[in-house]
Amino acid sequence: MTARSFSPAVEDYLEAILTLEGENRSVRSIDLSRHLGVSRAAVSKAMTSLNAKGLIEHAHYSSISLTDEGRRHAAKILHSHRMLKRFLIEILGVDASVAESDACHLEHSISDETRQKWLAYIQSNLKSG
Amino acid sequence: MTARSFSPAVEDYLEAILTLEGENRSVRSIDLSRHLGVSRAAVSKAMTSLNAKGLIEHAHYSSISLTDEGRRHAAKILHSHRMLKRFLIEILGVDASVAESDACHLEHSISDETRQKWLAYIQSNLKSG
DNA sequence: GTAAAATGTTAACCGTAGATTACATTTGAT
DNA sequence: ATCAAATGTAATCTACGGTTAACATTTTAC
């Protein structure tokens, strides 16, 4: 159940971990640091916090993996991001780099209901058209 | 010029001031406190900060008004809010209360380019339709 | 005009999330 | 295996944005 929600910062870390998982064998702190443009220390502190929230598994000096709950939430954010970016580019005609930047912020701001209806709308508006 | 951007919290205060202006003769700290659901102390601190940023005028123990820059930014946020809410309700079919809540967050997350294209899209999709 | 109530401010504190610096640990080259 | 480089952590600091409690000021009722 745990239907609580997380801060944009927490969601950014989760999304980054999921994204990096697809590129690397194991996700290290330094990867997140580079990907998100924050210090290694900031990542270290954040990982302690995400671990305490049950969103990742992370032993001292070892690599980082998502728990089931962390993965579910990360996937939701990543899907929202991709959906919104596609909407902005393909339906509104927004420039790709602006769309990417806007999607990074918008992804944290929509409810489940809205996300579902938005996705359906995009799909029906791109299939036809 | 001052093309910088402001935090969601700052934008919420600006939007609230503009909204309350339309209802009251003068906007007081207590009005913002009630409207936004934060303490009087939080409003007081925020007003000091908005004042320092040149977004409002506010002498000690007196009522609050927007500067030109504050008003411009407040109007932008309020327009974004209304536009997004309308999009969510009338185009996506999202429930009104969910749309209101989502719009409150989304309004802080879109660039000028996106806002303009979105507005045009909504208008052409509701005029016809 | 004065006293009580309402409102505004300040001070002290909390939590989040970042930075820098210094130190700890792990990794990799030899 | 050892040492240097890379990476991870801890300590300390900053800024933001909220809280409560105490105090200041203004407003309102009488």
pLDDT-derived band at B23 (thresholds 50, 70, 90) equals confident
Residue with minimal CA–C1' distance to C27 is: A61
Nearest to A114 among B102, B110, B113 (CB): B102
- Nearest nucleotide to B39 (CA to C1') is D19
**Mean of per-residue pLDDT scores for chain B:** 94
Protein-proximal nucleotides of chain C (any atom < 7 Å from a CB): 6-12, 16-22, 25-26
pLDDT exceeds 50 at position A122: yes
Sole residue written with tokens 């429930």:
B95
pLDDT-derived band at B25 (thresholds 50, 70, 90) equals confident
B85-119: burial string, b at 16+ Cβ within 10 Å, e else: bbbbbebbebeeebbebbbbbbbbbbbebbbebbb
pLDDT exceeds 70 at position A2: no
Residue with minimal CA–C1' distance to D25 is: B61
Task: Give the pLDDT score at B4.
Answer: 64
- Specify the higher pLDDT residue, A38 or B2: A38
Chain A: residue whose CA lies nearest to B89:
A114
d(CA A95, CA A85): 10
The dihedral region occupied by A6, where left means phi > 0, alpha psi between -120 and 50, and beta the remainder, is beta
Section B50-69 average pLDDT = 96
- Give the phi and the psi of residue A57 in degrees, each rounded to 5: -115, 135
- In Å, how far are A4, A43, B113 from B90, measured between CA atoms? 28, 41, 22
B98 CB within 8 Å of a chain A CB: yes
